[in-house]
Amino acid sequence: MICHVWSMRMKPESTPEQRQAVLDALATLPEQIPGILSFTFGGDLGMGRDNADVVVIARFADEADWRAYLAHPAHDRFAEDVVTPVYGSGAAIQFPVDESS
């Protein structure tokens, strides 16, 4: 199993409505993209300094499913239409997980 974690800091001038648009768009991805075993996401609560604004934690059976997720047109539309206008910086990691964890 592969766990994919992505976090993003939005541009400082991004609005609360744009942040909500990112979260709303994320909510639609699991129903559109096959191969996602679990998909958790959220916006930062503002409790720590220098936190990211948005995070995604997704699990896939294998690398092929993760790559299919990244290449899926719904993911492309999300990245281009919703993320690109507000993207400040981000980071991602993929790592193997034991299926029992």
Segment 8-52, tens digit of pLDDT:
999 999 999 999 999 999 999 999 999 999 999 999 999 999 999
Report helix, strand or coil for 25.
Answer: helix
Do residues 53 and 8 make contact, with C-beta atoms less than 8 angstroms apart? Answer: yes
pLDDT at 101 over 70: no
Which CATH number is 65's domain given? 3.30.70.100
User: What's the token pair of residue 73?
Assistant: 């047109």
Has residue 101 been placed in a domain?
Answer: no
Could you tell me the pTM of the whole model?
Answer: 0.92
pLDDT in tens, 74-89: 999 999 999 999 999 9
Q: Which domain holds residue 54?
A: 2-96
> Within a 10 A sphere around the Cβ of 30, how many other Cβ atoms?
18
Q: Give me the phi and psi of 93, to 5 degrees please.
A: -150, 145
Distance in angstroms (rounded) separating the CA atoms of residues 23 and 21: 5
